[in-house]
Amino acid sequence: MLAVIGVDCVEDLFADIPDALRLSRELNLPAGMAEQDVYAKLRELAERNVSCESELSFLGGGMYDHYVPSLIDSILSRSEFLTPYTPYQPEISQGGLQVMFEYQTAISELTGLPVSNASLYDGPSAVGAAAYLAKLANGRPRLVVSAGLHPHAREVLKTLSAGFATEVVEVGLRDGVTDPDELAAAVDEQTSAVFLAQPNFLGAVEDLESLVAIAKPSGALLVCSCDPLTLGLLKPPGELGFDIAVGEGQTLGNRLDFGGPSFGFFAASQEHLRRMPGRIVGETTDVDGRRGFVLTLQTREQHIRREKATSNICTAQALNALAGVIYLSWLGRRGIVELCELMVQRTAYARDRLTALEGVTALHSQPVVREFAVVLDVPVEPVIERCVAAGVNPGYPLGGDYPEYPNGLLVAITEQRSRADIDRLVDVLGAAVAQQAAIGATAVGAGV
Amino acid sequence: MSLQGLETAQQRDRARTIFEKSKPGRRAFVGPALDLEPRPLDDLIPAHLRRAQPARLPEIAEPEIVRHYNRLSKRNFDLDTGFYPLGSCTMKHNPKLHERVAGLPGNARLHPLQAPAQAQGALELMFNLQEALGEIAGLAHVSLQPSAGSHGELAGVLLTRAYHEDRGEHRTKILTPDTAHGTNPATVTMAGYEVVKVATNSDGGVDIDDLRSKADEQVACLMLTNPSTLGLFEVNIAEIAEIVHGVGGTLYYDGANLNAIVGISRPGDMGFDIVHYNLHKTFTQPHGGGGPGSGPIAVCDALEPYLPRPQIVARESAGGGGTIFDLDYDRPKSIGRLRGFQGNYGVFVRAYAYICSLGAAGLLEMSQTAVLNANYLLALLKREGVAEYLPVAHDQLCMHEFVLCGTPMKRDLGIRTLDLAKRLLDHGVHPPTVYFPLLVDEAVLIEPTETETKETLDDFAAIVADVLREAGEDPSVALNAPYTTPVRRLDEAGAAKRPVIRQAM
């Protein structure tokens, strides 16, 4: 090969790199390893994580331990889906393109909005993308955000708005849901977009209809950050008057993976079609009249429009979106309703039983599907530690994100948590709260 | 052409979506039994909050779902099946070990809000990956959070903004070369800056005079990739860095082409202040048909305070019990989050497995072989029968990729770069990147990567020569190609004019 090139050694190929810019030593990294040794090393690391496989976990807060059916692993492991790049050559990418078309159809159906892209990075970044679309659509200077949005999504809005010079105003919660009076006071003709969540971060199902009625007259774009799985039961944002629906797709057949990769979905009303971020697949025909699919409306995108593009996004999360559409096909028209109703029943049971415990009260009284919040009358962190020591992770402490609830606890009940699991949570949490209360009482008694 | 009018079995298999295969009453899902006394649904979720009608998802049984997607998969070309020299995308082999380790329950079922004390393995892996990436780039401070290259660019430009504003400077412009990937200018706009293009000189490098004339106190940053999109090492990089730093700007390294120089030269040593990596390119995360990817960034000391949060940190435990890994949120100057949770952890596992497998010597060999393969293929394509139609855009040694120019082919053979690409499909190889970079007419951007054999490169060169010879005899063959693919040329203009982007119900 070197003779064909006309050089003597491989080093000659790097002659263009000035000596001063060359690394004169080996990289300071360990030596390479055999496959079996790499496997052993990574297995050892993985075993030091406590996953939902090895504890009884009630963690939620944006990602959920739903069952991922076997057929997803099987289909996603196919090289034909796993290893190609973005479908720039549609004649040899019809499989992936049709998957995206089916995915867009499913997202449109769930959200009740006619236009879906082929997916974005994740839920919070999709919220950020909606803010940028609103900026392109109306150029107004302010975003109004319910405190019910995922804290990460609210932070992404603040990060990105530094770039496109919009102000972010937060609307507080009252009894677990967006305060309608605060919302009415915050929204005006300077509002570019209003962001509401369904269910919100505290698990509450918001009465979106009344909130939409408050925000709509301002002419701001209305963005619903929603969970796609519970849309199997809840009213779709498109029917409620929202312009855009975005959210985290992990609940649709994607693994937890410590937070990613998953996908974000992005759906909108027809008028925003040409402002959408990311890939969109459209149907067409080939020269012989056969049905086919292509990436379409590419004049929105960075590789064509460059600095005038509607987004800088290049890739989608195609493999994760594939998992999503397989999952929705597996659940099917009736299955998604059954799954949601099962979660509603078990979550109601868990909420009733937990809030019947001494020292545990409901944080809010709103309807819930899969998740609810409680407040402990003792410090939450040591209670969690006690539960974890007993093999039960009772949920996510809310104090970091909601300082007004220093001892709040967010508890998620997926279909993988049975009644027996919930009963165990009640026993373990009840005991932990009682022990913590006893310590507090002793401390007070001792005059500490 | 005798193939015209014939149909392959795949072509006869007309595309039907999973929604069209739905039949009322069919199903796959069997849910867990309800193990408690149900309460009336209306008492739990009032009717006005619920859907009136179920979403019209497919009604289909598991065997048909599996068959549907397996058949669809066969309508894709993929890297495990054939050569994929898609320039700038680094389509190297994806080791199968990576899927196995990413799928271990301790990774795949690890909840992102798990307390750090119960996620020490994951945090240690991320910390080690940060350290390795920092060493590779020559920039010590790494954030793994961005989800893709373009996301890393946005992080880098936003932290450039934070850095300038923290010093009370409100700069307005960012320089990008005219060869830049489209994500660069798009990112600049999203971050609220004006794009100023810098010209390319006759050697394919940055035009230094043009750069000097545009570098002023309003310039926040210059975004560059090295090697460039033309596959050439920017020999004036030290001078470029001096010019940009001289006016107080930052120098941003787009890591799309990092695969050429790992262990050989480091962006940090070249003077770059910010780097993004494409873990799905250099560090072989499978591309998944268009994602997921991951685009960590590394920065110099001065920019460290602005990195996204949380950061993964290592602390010595108080009791002397060794190192504890943690998430650090206490970063008051941070630009904040760009996404949820800790980034695309599943990609980190694969990238870390790759770095462990190759080690220092293996990573050097990776880049050396990538450059060797590119130069070998370039030499083959510079032979008679190809070179007169597809001359190399810049006739010198290349790095990991190179650009050919299809202008003579178009003029003398009557076929365009697009036609060449479509005819390559009939030969069972993925075409190179076409019509990029923009400043080469009829561009063909070829990146073979280090995981291809000499035989594969020989075969590809022979196929290109065949297609050109065939075009010399009858250009209509290439003009009407492909013939053997599941569908033939598609009406893209029609798709954009009357968009049909979902299945009619």
d(CA B248, CA B259): 29
The residue out of B355, B377, B400 marking a domain boundary is B355
Give percent above pLDDT 90 in chain B. Answer: 92
Rg, Å, chain A Cα set: 25
pLDDT band at A350 (very low <50, low <70, confident <90, very high): very high
Count A/B contacts: CB-CB distance under 8 Å: 676
Cβ of B190 within 8 Å of Cβ of A248? The answer is: no
Which structure tokens are listed for A302?
Answer: 């960075």
Number of structural domains in chain B: 2
Question: Mutating which of A59, A92, A200 best tests the B interface, going by the most B Cβ atoms within 10 A?
Answer: A92
In this model, does residue B26 exceed pLDDT 70?
yes
Cβ of B342 within 8 Å of Cβ of A259? The answer is: yes
In this model, does residue A375 exceed pLDDT 50?
yes
Q: What is the CATH number of the domain that holds B116?
A: 3.40.640.10
DSSP string, A290-316: -EEEEE--GGGSHHHHGGG-S------
pLDDT of residue B5: 63
Chain A residue numbers with beta carbons less than 8 Å from the beta carbon of B120 are: 48-49
d(CA A70, CA A53): 16
Closest Cα of chain B to A445: distance in Å?
A: 31
d(CA B31, CA B159): 47
Q: Is residue B65 included in any domain, yes or no?
A: no
Phi-psi region of B449 (alpha: psi -120 to 50; beta: other; left: phi over 0): left
In this model, does residue B1 exceed pLDDT 70?
no
pLDDT in tens, B251-289: 999 999 999 999 999 999 999 999 999 999 999 999 999
Same-domain check for residues B173 and B285: yes
User: Which residues have a Cβ under 8 Å from the Cβ of B188 and sit 6 or more positions away?
Assistant: A307, B157, B174, B176, B194, B195, B223
Same-domain check for residues B180 and B249: yes
Running DSSP on this structure, what letter comes out for residue B2? Answer: T
- The residue in chain B having the minimum alpha-carbon distance to the alpha carbon of residue A135 is B190
Closest Cα of chain B to A201: distance in Å?
A: 13
Same-domain check for residues B474 and B339: no
Same-domain check for residues B148 and B165: yes
pLDDT of residue B203: 84
User: Which residues have a Cβ under 8 Å from the Cβ of B245 and sit 6 or more positions away?
Assistant: B251, B271
Same-domain check for residues B140 and B269: yes
CA neighbor of A152 nearest in space, from A262, A28, A68: A262
Closest to B371 (Cβ–Cβ): which among A14, A106, A123? Answer: A14
User: Which residues have a Cβ under 8 Å from the Cβ of B344 and sit 6 or more positions away?
Assistant: A257, A259, A260, A261, B147, B279, B292, B293, B294
d(CA B255, CA B280): 11
Q: How many CB atoms lie within 10 A of CB A65?
A: 22
The residue out of B355, B381, B404 marking a domain boundary is B355
Distances (CA, A) of B233 to A235, B200, B382: 56, 13, 20
Cβ of A159 within 8 Å of Cβ of B308? The answer is: yes
pLDDT in tens, A168-209: 999 999 999 999 999 999 999 999 999 999 999 999 999 999
- Annotate B95-134 with b (16+ C-beta within 10 A) or e (fewer): bebbbebbbbebbbbbbbbbbbebbbbbbbbbbbbbebbb
In the CATH scheme, what architecture does the domain A70-326 have? 3-Layer(aba) Sandwich (3.40)
Chain B residue numbers with beta carbons less than 8 Å from the beta carbon of A16 are: 232-233, 235, 396-397
Chain A residue numbers with beta carbons less than 8 Å from the beta carbon of B421 are: 89
Q: Is residue B335 included in any domain, yes or no?
A: yes
Q: What is the dihedral of CA A254, A258, A259, A260, to 10 degrees?
A: -60
Closest to A329 (Cβ–Cβ): which among B60, B94, B289? Answer: B60
> Mean pLDDT over all residues of chain A?
96
What average pLDDT score do residues A137-165 get?
95
Cβ of A124 within 8 Å of Cβ of B270? The answer is: no
Look-up: residue for tokens 């974890």?
A388
d(CA B180, CA B229): 7
In this model, does residue A282 exceed pLDDT 80?
yes
Asked if residue A319 lies in contact with residue B347, where contact means CB atoms within 8 angstroms, the answer is no
Cβ of B292 within 8 Å of Cβ of A279? The answer is: no
Same-domain check for residues B327 and B432: no
Asked if residue B294 lies in contact with residue B148, where contact means CB atoms within 8 angstroms, the answer is yes
Look-up: residue for tokens 């932070």?
A155
pLDDT band at A448 (very low <50, low <70, confident <90, very high): very low
In this model, does residue A445 exceed pLDDT 90?
no
In A83-150, which ranges are continuous DSSP H helix?
94-111, 123-138
Same-domain check for residues B188 and B240: yes
Q: Is residue B56 included in any domain, yes or no?
A: no
Which structure tokens are listed for A114?
Answer: 């006619």
Cβ of A45 within 8 Å of Cβ of B121? The answer is: yes
Chain B residue numbers with beta carbons less than 8 Å from the beta carbon of A91 are: 422, 425, 482, 485-490
Question: What are A409's strand-pairing partners?
Answer: A374, A397
Q: What does the domain layout of chain A look like in residue ranges?
A: 70-326, 334-445
What is the domain extent for residue B403? 360-492
pLDDT of residue A444: 67
In this model, does residue A447 exceed pLDDT 60?
no
Q: Is residue B482 included in any domain, yes or no?
A: yes
The residue out of B327, B355, B383 marking a domain boundary is B355
pLDDT in tens, B228-241: 988 999 999 999 99
Question: What are B327's strand-pairing partners?
Answer: B312
pLDDT in tens, A33-46: 999 999 999 999 99
Reported as type and span, the H/E element at residue A400 is none
Running DSSP on this structure, what letter comes out for residue A206? Answer: P
Beta strands A221-226 and A244-248: pairing type? parallel
Cβ of B60 within 8 Å of Cβ of A332? The answer is: yes
Burial of residue A176 (CB within 10 Å: 0-12, 13-18, 19+) is: buried
pLDDT band at A301 (very low <50, low <70, confident <90, very high): confident
Distance between the two ends of chain A, CA-based, in angstroms?
80
pLDDT of residue B10: 81
Closest to B291 (Cβ–Cβ): which among A32, A60, A318? Answer: A318
In this model, does residue A89 exceed pLDDT 60?
yes
Half-sphere exposure of A408 (CA within 13 A, CB side): 20
Same-domain check for residues B267 and B161: yes
In the CATH scheme, what architecture does the domain A334-445 have? Alpha-Beta Complex (3.90)
Closest Cα of chain A to B411: distance in Å?
A: 24
Question: Mutating which of A37, A315, A320, A349 best tests the B interface, going by the most B Cβ atoms within 10 A?
Answer: A315
Chain B residue numbers with beta carbons less than 8 Å from the beta carbon of A415 are: 31-32
pLDDT band at B181 (very low <50, low <70, confident <90, very high): confident
Would you call A362 an interface residue with chain B, using a CB distance cutoff of 8 Å? no
Half-sphere exposure of A118 (CA within 13 A, CB side): 32
Secondary structure tally for chain B: helices H, strands E:
17, 12
Same-domain check for residues B315 and B370: no
> Mean pLDDT over all residues of chain B?
96
Running DSSP on this structure, what letter comes out for residue B450? Answer: T
What average pLDDT score do residues A53-61 get?
98
Same-domain check for residues B255 and B390: no
Q: Is the peptide bond before A30 cis (omega within 30 degrees of 0)?
A: no
Look-up: residue for tokens 């969970």?
A227
CA neighbor of B329 nearest in space, from B318, B316, B342, B344: B342
Q: Is residue B57 included in any domain, yes or no?
A: no
Cβ of B157 within 8 Å of Cβ of A163? The answer is: yes
d(CA A92, CA B75): 6
Q: Is residue B43 included in any domain, yes or no?
A: no
Cβ of B376 within 8 Å of Cβ of A31? The answer is: no
d(CA B467, CA A281): 30
- The residue in chain A having the minimum alpha-carbon distance to the alpha carbon of residue B226 is A17
User: Which residues have a Cβ under 8 Å from the Cβ of A24 and sit 6 or more positions away?
Assistant: none
Closest to A307 (Cβ–Cβ): which among B27, B104, B188? Answer: B188
Same-domain check for residues B408 and B324: no
Same-domain check for residues B441 and B471: yes
Cβ of B337 within 8 Å of Cβ of A124? The answer is: yes
pLDDT band at A446 (very low <50, low <70, confident <90, very high): low
Q: Which amino acid is at A76?
A: L
Q: Is residue B153 included in any domain, yes or no?
A: yes
Q: Is residue B448 included in any domain, yes or no?
A: yes
Q: What is the CATH number of the domain that holds B449?
A: 3.90.1150.10
Running DSSP on this structure, what letter comes out for residue B147? Answer: S
Asked if residue A152 lies in contact with residue A296, where contact means CB atoms within 8 angstroms, the answer is no
Chain A residue numbers with beta carbons less than 8 Å from the beta carbon of B269 are: 21, 23
Cβ of B66 within 8 Å of Cβ of A75? The answer is: yes
Cβ of A164 within 8 Å of Cβ of B190? The answer is: yes
